[in-house]
Amino acid sequence: MFQCMILAVSAVLVGLDQLTKWLAVMYLRNGESITVIPRILDFSYAENTGAAFSILSGERWFLIVITLIVMVALAAFVLFGQFRRYKLFNLSATLILAGGIGNLIDRLVQGYVVDFIKVTFMDFPVFNVADCFVVVGSVLLLIFFCFIYEDKAPTEAAHGKATDDSSGS
């Protein structure tokens, strides 16, 4: 049941991503830029045919296939995997699923991803809400595997094999 809720929350986040991209198309596509926080953050329309930092630009079908594989694998881990009992894993998976699916929809429907969030205090590519979901989810997943998840697989020492062999019997 909990895993179904994760998928439902992912769907809501995908809707939020698609809404923000629709708003960007409606209000920014004509080339205008909206300053949100002066010298820090603008909204400015861009079309990205690649992945992060426009790598693999023009490789639409490759990106679609890779995204589909990753999303299906991640959904399988959420529904059936050994990590599903961990809240941080579920949160990170929810964010990554939402972001991946949000950008996948753009690639399938339009052939490019709509980006519109532009940080102006440094030279950084324009990005979108789905990208934020993927980045935050990935950082949380890294934290989970580095600091929280402990492999509970039985070892020989845990089962006393080392002490049995040294007992002299």
- State the DSSP string of 97-154: HHHHHHHHHHHHHHSSEEEEEEE-SS----B-HHHHHHHHHHHHHHHIIIII------
CB 116 within 8 A of CB 126: yes
Quick check: is 47 in a domain? yes
Q: Which pLDDT score is estimated for 152?
A: 58
Pick the closest to residue 130 from 40, 51, 25, 37 (CA basis): 51
The number of domains in the chain is 1
Position of tokens 């205008």?
Answer: 32
CB 94 within 8 A of CB 6: yes
Q: pTM of this prediction?
A: 0.83
Quick check: is 159 in a domain? no
Within 10 A of 85 (CB to CB), how many other CB atoms are there?
A: 9
115 has catalytic annotation? yes
Quick check: is 62 in a domain? yes
Quick check: is 163 in a domain? no
CB 114 within 8 A of CB 71: no
Q: Which pLDDT score is estimated for 166?
A: 46
Quick check: is 82 in a domain? yes
Q: Which pLDDT score is estimated for 43?
A: 97
Q: Which pLDDT score is estimated for 111?
A: 93
Render each residue's pLDDT in the chain as its tens digit; 169 residues. Answer: 677 788 889 999 999 999 999 999 999 988 889 999 999 999 999 999 888 767 777 788 999 999 999 999 998 888 887 887 888 999 999 999 999 999 999 999 999 999 999 999 999 999 999 999 999 999 999 999 998 877 655 554 445 554 444 444 4
Q: Which pLDDT score is estimated for 1?
A: 66
Q: Which pLDDT score is estimated for 160?
A: 52
Of the listed 17, 106, 131, 151, which one is catalytic? 131
- What Å distances lie between residue 106 and 39, 60, 78, CA to CA? 29, 10, 24
Quick check: is 151 in a domain? no
Q: Which domain holds residue 53?
A: 2-122+129-144
Of the listed 115, 123, 151, 165, which one is catalytic? 115
Quick check: is 156 in a domain? no
Within 10 A of 121 (CB to CB), how many other CB atoms are there?
A: 9
Is the C-alpha dihedral spanning 22, 26, 29, 32 positive or negative? negative
Quick one: tokens of 38? 């002066």
Q: Which pLDDT score is estimated for 150?
A: 74
164 has catalytic annotation? no
Q: Which pLDDT score is estimated for 140?
A: 97
